[in-house]
Structure 1
Amino acid sequence: MLDSFLSYVFSSQWRVLPVCLVLLIAATELSYHCGLRLHLSKDEARKGQIGGIQGAILGLLALLLGFTFALAVQRYETRRTLVVEEANAIGTTYLRAALLPPSHQSAVEDLCRRYVEMRLNYYDAGQDPEKLDAAEEGGALIQRDLWTHAVAAAGEAPNPITATFITTLNELIDLDATRLNALRTHVPGAVWIILLAVAASGCYVSGYASGASGARSTFSSFVLPVLIALVISLISDIDRPRGGLISIKQQPMIDLQNSIAPAAPQS
């Protein structure tokens, strides 16, 4: 249940940001009023401990933010690279279709065009589960049709040229599975929980320090929570580039679609 909740919250930057803002500002405000009690008590020994604790927690928070950011960026780069690799595999499959027996060439070329369109539909679907499922099912059907043509072509012309087409088609199918796995692999939920806990603790201690000093700090009360919330929402957007400002550009696939489009009839 917790994993489902985290998946729902962190699937969109527009949900992560308000949740983090509410959590961190609430922690800061609560701790500020607790710190005021310490200020009124005139307990200087306890006040002296706050600075060290605050520095340690904020240092740990910086370390966790850096680690999580690097993890999300690594996965983002993997997904972006797979777009190029998949476009190359489809393009090579399309070109090698010309080496097949004439009875299969045009059908395979048309299937490759439809496959590219299905891939673009998948990315355009965003987070709509029905559109995503339809695009996945459509892609799987086209893969089966391509494989049927490959088997038939190998039976008609069992030679190394046909084998190169089958090798390329295998790569296309393998990349589809790799791409889906990359899209479904995200920063673990446990990392998000620890990150939020440390972020809330950092804001709590900062607010407590402001209260203990008897002077409210605008930076501790508002700027720090907002900055931390923005960084966390940015990391979640990079980790799940579908529901926010960051997306994986599909230009390689669009370029391929344009390059293999059927030639316009000459008048």
Structure 2
Amino acid sequence: MPNFVENHLNIVQYAPIIFFTSILIFLLMGWLYGRYRTRTTEHVVVRDSLATAIFGLSALVLGFTFANATDHYDKRTSLIRDQAHSLKQVYQSSNYLNPTDRVAVQNTLKQILKQRISKYENIKKMDDLDANNNVLTQSLNTLNEEVNKAISRAPVSTKDLADNILRPQLTHLLDTFQEGILNGKHHPPAIIDRFLFALLSIGALLSGYSMAIKKEEDWFLTALYLGLMGFALYVIFSLEFPHQLQDANLLNADFLKLQKAWQ
């Protein structure tokens, strides 16, 4: 992810508009230049083979970007469900501990849940996300220490259950949260987005130019194309940056349900 985006995560929500505006501007520029060529040159030829090659390359990169964003989104939503389930398992298995330790562990789990829900709130740059991840990591370390100490003090009747059930569940919880921390910062290289931006802009320029040269202006189809392209870009960025472009309550539905059950 480019340094500019890392330092201005709050502008990611405007990325689809920026791409759409560029496509619109280049489309109009191509159309105006095509009209100018038809007025000043007697014979103007559009090489359809070259234009088709560029459009095909644009479609290929657009499809690749969409598939990549979908994979990232599926991974993130799967981790959210796994994290919520892991929290629930450890919370339930804390009943194997003595009452004092059980209360301490459950309070730490509630704190971790609260921090995870609010991790992406008011994020303006990557440093803000790193700070929230550090706080969450500290709470996870605290939970790890509390549970391991509590297992050694667990009642004799439930100590084996705590050791054989609670301990593996804790390990899985820590692993899923660590994976989520790393995955949340994983995005495609900046050059992919730049290449897509350049291809879509050039493709729009050629479309407008070809329309004017061939005198095939169909503004209904042009508006339809622009609308579909704008929506496609919104979907791609929404999948790649869900916490900036989607409803937080929908993304955190499993966490919010768990939080409500623990109240």
Instruction: Identify the TM-score tier after normalising by the shorter chain.
Output: 0.7 to 0.9
Give the distance between the partners of 1:246 and 1:196, measured in 2 at CA: 26
Work out whether residues 16 and 234 of structure 2, in 8 Å CA contact, stay in contact via their aligned partners in 1. Answer: yes
The one-letter code matched in structure 2 to 1:204 is L
Work out whether residues 73 and 240 of structure 2, in 8 Å CA contact, stay in contact via their aligned partners in 1. Answer: yes
The answer for the alignment partner of 2:195 in structure 1 is: 194
Work out whether residues 79 and 182 of structure 1, in 8 Å CA contact, stay in contact via their aligned partners in 2. Answer: yes
Sort the Cα spacing of 1:17 and 1:143 in 2 relative to 1 into closer, same or farther, 3 A.
closer
The answer for the alignment partner of 1:62 in structure 2 is: 59
Is 1:253 paired with 2:249?
no
Work out whether residues 12 and 240 of structure 1, in 8 Å CA contact, stay in contact via their aligned partners in 2. Answer: no
- Comparing 216-225 and 107-116, the one that deviates more: 216-225
Query: How far off is 1:132 after superposition?
Result: 4.7
Is 1:78 paired with 2:75?
yes
Normalised by the length of structure 2, the TM-score is 0.83
The answer for the alignment partner of 2:18 in structure 1 is: 19
Deviation string, structure 1 residues 94-153 (Cα, Å, up to 9, x no partner)? 111111234412211222222222222224x14256875664344233222222222323
The one-letter code matched in structure 1 to 2:2 is D
Is 1:93 paired with 2:94?
no
Query: How far off is 1:161 after superposition?
Result: 2.5
Give the distance between the partners of 2:151 and 2:214, measured in 1 at CA: 81
Query: How far off is 1:223 after superposition?
Result: 4.7
User: Aligned to 1:186, what secondary structure does the other structure show?
Assistant: coil
The answer for the alignment partner of 2:169 in structure 1 is: 168
Query: How far off is 1:167 after superposition?
Result: 1.8
Query: How far off is 1:225 after superposition?
Result: 4.2
List aligned pairs for 1:15-54, cutoff 5 A: 15-40=14-39, 41-43=41-43, 46-47=45-46, 49=47, 51-54=48-51
The one-letter code matched in structure 2 to 1:35 is G
The one-letter code matched in structure 1 to 2:96 is L
Query: How far off is 1:246 after superposition?
Result: 5.4
Is 1:145 paired with 2:142?
yes
Give the distance between the partners of 1:175 and 1:243, measured in 2 at CA: 22
Structure 2: gaps (5+ residues): none
Is 1:122 paired with 2:123?
no
Structure 1: gaps (5+ residues): 262-267
Give the distance between the partners of 2:9 and 2:191, measured in 1 at CA: 13
The one-letter code matched in structure 2 to 1:93 is V
Normalised by the length of structure 1, the TM-score is 0.82
Sort the Cα spacing of 1:227 and 1:10 in 2 relative to 1 into closer, same or farther, 3 A.
farther
